[in-house]
Amino acid sequence: MISSELNSAVSTQELAKLSYPSQNNVKSIWLKSRFFVLSKVYRATFSRIATLTGNSLFRHAVEQKPRLLEKALKPYLYVDIPPAERMRHIEQHFTFLNQTFGHNLESAFEKGLTLFALTDSQENEYKVILFDGEMREGSLGIRLINSLGQTIYSITFNLTTTPEKTIHIGALKGPSDKVEDRNQVIKTLTRSFHGLRPKALMVELALFFARALGYDKAVCVSNKGHIYQALRYKGSKNKAVTFNYDELWDEYGATVLDKYRFEIPTLPERKDPSTLAKRNKRRLYTKRYAWLDEMEMSLKARLDELKVGTSEF
């Protein structure tokens, strides 16, 4: 394992070996050659990538998924940010996580790190886990998975520390076709969550995570800002995103920052149950908010367990 104190940059050849470990096939040789060419075209970015490999958590993440070394070279997080800005997001993200959690977060970049468990009204068991996030939309995420390990919903984000501590939400994804009777699963979970939709729960979980780490700003991708709207994906993946981000963020009292980004409160406004006319609605929202508050305390306690010390950020 590489020490977190390592600060010497590795060579381009070493980066290529990390990115494409297999050495005995034509495709690997071609990819390594391509990697070398990219290192010359994006010389400044590659220098920063090489330096970041001295971050033990980033190095561990790369060992699990070598293509992370090319994250900053393709559209990342928002469609409009250039390589240098992408690299800044990635650097700040892994620097903060390594400083705060160190080796304790490594399993999130493997098979996932369990935060806590949930049970629905049918006694079906679910887990909320930290994972490495979708490749292009962030570098950490939270998943709700069923007992088969299938993802019901996931949210992916990136953390930056300057000019202010900000969580950037780049993707929210629902269940795949592999989840049996997925529409009924969502309905059952919504009833079990006191009327809260699973996709809204994922937003709440991301905000819980942010608040637990002292983040007080949340910036979220818009429909136009999603990375699959980039020119390189025209005709391929640009129609793959059917989720209406703009509509969801509006439900959270979003402020439009520009056509690619919204800002939402890290502490969303809640309804006052006492002002609701129907008693069953008052009961529903009272139970929902108590349930969410308990969940936030559980998540914060779990994160506190994982911390290695006081972060300097």
* Nearest-angstrom CA–CA distance, 311 and 309: 6
CATH for 106-306, options being 1.20.1270, 3.10.450, 3.40.630, 2.20.25: 3.40.630
Over residues 193-207, the pLDDT tens digits come to 999 999 999 999 999
Q: What pTM does this model have? A: 0.89
Over residues 158-177, the pLDDT tens digits come to 999 999 999 999 999 999 88
HSE-up of residue 4 (Cα within 13 Å, Cβ side)? 14
Nearest to 259 by CA among 239, 232, 229, 233: 229
Adjacent-strand bridge partners of 172: 155
Distances (CA, A) of 102 to 16, 105, 205, 310: 25, 6, 22, 11
Nearest to 211 by CA among 304, 285, 134, 121: 304
Angle in degrees, CA 29, 42, 22, rounded to 5? 20
| Low-confidence stretches of the chain (pLDDT beneath 70) | 1-24, 27-32, 39, 234-242, 309-313
pLDDT of residue 6: 38
Q: Exposed e or buried b for every residue in 180-212, given b needs 16+ CB within 10 A?
A: eeeeebbebbbebbbebbbbbbbbbbbbbbbbb
DSSP state of 172: E
* Residue indicated by tokens 């070394």: 69
Distances (CA, A) of 31 to 16, 23, 217: 9, 10, 39
pLDDT of residue 43: 79
User: What residue spans define the domains of the chain?
Assistant: 7-73, 106-306
